[in-house]
Amino acid sequence: MATISAQRRSFAGTIEWRSLLPLAVGTFLVLIGLFCLWQTWLIAGESSAIERVHAAQKQVAQLLAAEIASERGRVQAVLDADDAATLVADPAEAAVALHQQIPQALALNVYSGGLDEVIHANYRVFGYGKAAQLMAAQTADGETLAQTVAGGQGERHLTLVLPVGPSRHPQAWVWVELPFGPLQQRFESIPLAGGRLELRQGDDRGDMRLLSSGEPSAEREADRSEPVDGSTLSVVAALPAAYIVLPKVWPLTALLSLLALGGGLYLFWLRSHPRRQSGVQVEETVLSDMIDNNPEPAKLAAPRPTKSAPAAPVKVTVDPTIFRAYDVRGVVGTSLTKDVARLLGQAIGAVMREKGLAEIVVGRDGRLSGPELAGALSDGLRMAGIDVIDIGAVPTPVVYYAAYRFNTGSGVAVTGSHNPPDYNGFKIVVGGETLSEGAIQDLYRRITANGLERDGKGNLRHVDVLPDYIERITSDVQAERRLKIVVDSGNGIAGAVAPQVLEGIGCDVIPLYCDVDGTFPNHHPDPSDPHNLEDLIFAVKETGADLGIAFDGDGDRLGVVTKEGEIIFPDRTLMLFARDVLSRQPGATVIYDVKCTGHLKGEILDAGGSPLMWRTGHSLIKAKMRETGAELAGEMSGHFFFKERWYGFDDGIYAGARLLEILSGDPEERTPEAIFATCPKGVSTPELKVEMVEGEHYRFIEKFRQRATFGDATLTTIDGVRADWPDGWGLVRPSNTTPILVLRFDADNAAALERIQNVFRAQLLAIDPSLKLPF
């Protein structure tokens, strides 16, 4: 009887499984088919969405250009109607008279044809942007470009410069400031169904956003900007963020949909019809045909109680793309919210608890979203049982310094670094280690797995560490002779600290955009982009300063320009730092990233050091410094890391002080230009960028490593592919922060540079002939 019961259970299970298998597989295939059908619909609709957005983009650019031309024409008509000699005779009186004829003008000035009064003006009062526009008009070939300037209460105004008399040799210049409202009305007059349009001033990689309309979640398409004729403005289009995971080839997805739906429906039909063999119907075996029904079935033992499985982790909606290679960063209000910041604090706290750490420093830069995000982060840390030291609004290096000063070894800087105003993020140090790559991804896994502490009661205290930070630098670094310098902080948080530090070491400081303003109204806070150094170069020349230095949005990067207007790239600045450090630390290791000049290795060797090329990324450089015991490191982006006399973290303000100490202490009292002239340089390109789909840049580099050939060049593949020849080098690497390829070329002369670029061009196009190369 027991055997029969066992047979019954075994065969019943077999029959049930066989009968349900077609149903399960069929259901799965139908679902796959429906998903592919949905993807086909999205892909087919994407092309029309692109056309609609780009059509609106072009229409808006044309409307804005027409509005600017109309404003220019109205003002020019007034100027043409007046006597040029009268305007030149008394510019002040002429400005008043013109203002009465142009009532819409908010401000109007008349200047001489030679702009003498502009050249000798106090630009802090006159306005750097206004002066730059007038000076540009003097050298412009044709119509001068309209631009916008900051007005009161966060408003923007349109400004025009028009000649009086012949355009090539004008007798005077008229600068007029007009309301921005008509442009805004034109921008907002075009309806947009899906996607987003942005009005920007400058190029679309280092520009300033003025207006935005459409869907905030649309993905920005940076290479499709539409210039507004007659101005420095452009309209950037962003496409709707459709959830497309299949290849964007609609015939392929349609075929997959038909195959899956057809297969699923066939399995449903097969299950509902008896099987046939050789034309004779064969009935399915039934359980009653196989067993004896007379015996009573054996009674089954009562089932033993079992423990219920643990509840599945609660799913948390957090955008995985904000967890980058070196930090956590996203757009405020969309991918980055206070709830995300609180969860991140809990995850960091969980890591600290596992390492036996109990206290952390939290600081923030000058962005408008900083207080809310820093507060939510601190709440999450305290929920995890971590004590928080809040040091307020400070540069990122001050957060690192405070972690040493208070012996916590841990700190979080809430900062968007050099990114646009609507970005923010977190740079994280735990137990002396700057988190990167796998450690950053581990935070995301902890959040999504819900492995977080919630019942902790960490303490919170507020501390002002800035006086201590300033005292620590100025007590050690001193300028041997007074240098006059212009300091451009780009309205970033460094403006609250850097002038005090540099004055404290004995320099005369002329501040430029040192008022902290999280909207960055004057220019993008990124000194690695030459476009953002134009105002600094202008100010250095006009004030007769010895040097100009610039900082990024959170103060951990340094840019340098000379009195002659030359931009000193960071790899040449690192040569000076290496000579200085190695004079006291002979034989020390000096680390530099793969984007630095090939001359740097020889300079370090000549100074008695040990050069080491490493991967790009501030957290990766710091980890390598700990591993090798290096005394100094630097990146082409402007990050400098001093262990000698400092703490080994990247600090743009401290690096600026050390640079001025070197320049002012030259035994021969040479000018900064003469000192920098001792640092070899060749012909080089800035960073060139090729945009790709998310993730595709990594796959491309892998193919490039395997297939590219460079003859007798020396190859370095620790970060992309770098090929070095005796007279120059080229590099292509994947960015770890955005889906782009980054390229740079450097050579002893223009002919060598062109040859190396041609070699790389051929190798790149051999992998993907459709690439749009920027060289």
User: Is-contact 651 642, C-beta < 8 A?
Assistant: yes
What average pLDDT does this structure show over 9-13?
Answer: 46
Q: What are phi and psi of 702, to 5 degrees?
A: -65, -45
Q: How many Å separate Cα 381 from the centre of its chain?
A: 26
CA terminus-to-terminus distance, the chain? 85
pLDDT digits (tens, 9 = 90+) for 195-238: 788 888 864 434 677 888 877 655 555 446 789 988 888 888 87
Cα dihedral sign, 423-406-616-345: negative
Give the integer Cα–Cα distance in Å for 569 and 550: 12
The alpha-carbon radius of gyration of the chain (Å, integer) is 33
3-class DSSP state of 526: coil
pLDDT digits (tens, 9 = 90+) for 459-483: 999 999 999 999 999 999 999 999 9
Q: How far is CA 647 from CA 365, 405, 577, 593, 626, in A?
A: 21, 11, 15, 20, 11
Q: How far is CA 721 from CA 622, 705, 765, in A?
A: 22, 7, 15
Percent of the chain with pLDDT over 90: 58
Q: 378: closest CA among 403, 396, 359, 357?
A: 359
What average pLDDT does this structure show over 733-748?
Answer: 90
pLDDT digits (tens, 9 = 90+) for 377-387: 999 999 999 99
**Is 48 assigned a catalytic role?**
no
**Is 112 assigned a catalytic role?**
no
Q: Which two tokens stand for residue 158?
A: 């349109």
pLDDT digits (tens, 9 = 90+) for 414-443: 999 988 999 999 999 999 999 998 999 999
- The C-alpha angle with vertex 287 and arms to 286 and 290, in degrees rounded to 5, equals 100
Q: What are phi and psi of 498, to 5 degrees?
A: -55, -45
Identify each DSSP E strand in 472-599 by its residue range: 484-488, 508-512, 547-551, 558-562, 567-568, 589-593
Helix, strand, coil shares of the chain, percent, nearest 5, are 40, 20, 35
Identify each DSSP E strand in 523-601 by its residue range: 547-551, 558-562, 567-568, 589-593
| Residue from 72, 200, 324, 329 carrying the catalytic annotation | 329
Which residues on adjacent β-strands are paired with residue 111? 173
Look-up of token digits 């799913």: 315
| Residue from 639, 658, 722, 733 carrying the catalytic annotation | 639
Q: Which amino acid is at 361?
A: V
| Residue from 417, 489, 619, 637 carrying the catalytic annotation | 417
* pLDDT band at 167; cut points 50, 70, 90: confident
Q: What are phi and psi of 597, to 5 degrees?
A: -60, 150
pLDDT at 36 over 80: no
Q: How far is CA 712 from CA 404, 602, 726, 767, 773, in A?
A: 47, 20, 10, 20, 24
pLDDT digits (tens, 9 = 90+) for 593-650: 999 999 999 999 999 999 999 999 999 999 999 999 999 999 999 999 999 999 999 9
Confidence (pLDDT) at 17: 52
Q: Which two tokens stand for residue 111?
A: 């200047």
Q: Which two tokens stand for residue 339?
A: 């709830």
- Between strands 280-281 and 276-277, the pairing is antiparallel
**Is 639 assigned a catalytic role?**
yes
Side by side, the strands of the sheet bearing 172-179 are: 107-112, 172-179, 156-164, 147-150
How does the average pLDDT of the chain come out, rounded?
85
* pLDDT band at 309; cut points 50, 70, 90: very low
* pLDDT band at 314; cut points 50, 70, 90: very low
